[in-house]
Amino acid sequence: MSTKPLRNSKLNANTITLSHGSGGKAMRELIDEIFVAGFDNAQLNELEDQARFDLHQLAAKGDQLAMTTDSYVVDPLFFAGGDIGKLAVSGTVNDLAVSGAIPLYLTCSMIMEEGLKIDDLQRIVTSMKNTADIAGVQIVTGDTKVVHKGAADKLFINTAGIGVIPKHFNIHATRAQPGDVVICNGFIGDHGAAIVDARGELALENTIQTDCAPLNELIQAMLVHCPDIHCMRDATRGGIATVLNEFAQASQCAIRIDESQLPIRNEVRGMCEILGLDPLYLANEGKIISIVPSNQAESILRIMRQFETGKHSAIIGEVLAEPASRVILATAFGGDRIVDMLVGEQLPRIC
């Protein structure tokens, strides 16, 4: 994993200027000294307008190509345990991995505001490279644009990714069945809480870090053990409540979760109580919700708990036949309540 500084004497500016998006010499120096030097792989170094792949090599890994894209506008750019660069790579890798795909290649497009500190940009590129190395993917092509000061908020990133799905995996939101169980790979709400803290608007004192991480290694281990995982999705914006509702609606089933089994840090729970937030709707960037056959659940948990990103994994609920398309929470007080889709936005600019 490379952590060497990326600054080079050819790049004399301390901040991004409009000339860095002009297509001329300044832009070429920025691309060479920041992005090519930072991401450093054979595909990218060719500096063609596209990355090219050997179809025979891709086909040897599976029979379906998975593709995804996402944009990242988080505020602030840096927060406890992560930054917008780590977020962009992890989020796109995870969106591929939850389909059963082996993530392989990413793109990276950056919209930079005039005045962005080049040191901050370098720090973000280094973070992206380190995260990509952990995930075993390469950033192979991209684009840069510069907008006038005030036209954006420092930096927006778009990443797209491709991967290959092996033949025997069939993970879909429509496959939840009565009798299945619901597994989460650890504490929920950490990312949302970390962003609230990083914004510094509420003078809260805590040590919550984002859970942002690529999960493809964990997911592949789960699938090796149990190729018949029915549903899997990463719980980002809208939290686990949104994912569970998507599964319940797509599969026309009910999902009942147990409040006493939900893994929530005391710090996150306390912050939610102070701010009137519901941890079920808080964003995560390193959490997956999986629906698996009940006879495989305990053995899958044992596999998951061998990984740092899964050591707090827990069974949090079950799939029922009725009421169709509903998510129900069994509360700590002994009653039940319906968990709807998020209405509005608890926290804007979260990812």
- The CATH number corresponding to 173-338 among 3.90.650.10, 3.30.930.10, 3.40.50.300, 3.30.450.20 equals 3.90.650.10
pLDDT-based confidence at residue 2 (cuts at 50, 70, 90): very low
Q: What is the pLDDT of residues 39-70, one digit of tens each?
A: 999 999 999 999 999 999 999 999 999 999 99
Q: Strand 102-113 and strand 138-147: pairing? A: parallel
Task: Assign 10 a pLDDT band (cuts: 50, 70, 90).
Answer: low
Please name the amino acid found at residue 166: P
CA gap 205, 207 in Å, rounded: 7
DSSP sequence for 71-107: EE--SSSEETTEEHHHHHHHHHHHHHHTTT-EEEEEE
Q: Peptide bond before 5: cis, by omega within 30 degrees of 0?
A: no
So what CATH class is 18-165?
A: alpha beta
Residue 312, exposed/middle/buried by CB under 10 A (0-12, 13-18, 19+)? Answer: middle
Domain boundaries, the chain: 18-165, 173-338
Lowest mean pLDDT among 3-17, 201-215, 290-304: 3-17
pTM: 0.95
Q: How confident is the model at residue 73 (pLDDT cuts 50, 70, 90)?
A: very high
Q: How far apart are CA 268 and CA 199, in angstroms?
A: 16
Q: Is the peptide bond before 263 cis (omega within 30 degrees of 0)?
A: no
- State mean pLDDT over 326-349: 92
Number of Cβ within a 10 Å radius of residue 300: 23
Residues paired with residue 181 on neighbouring β-strands, in sequence order: 292, 318
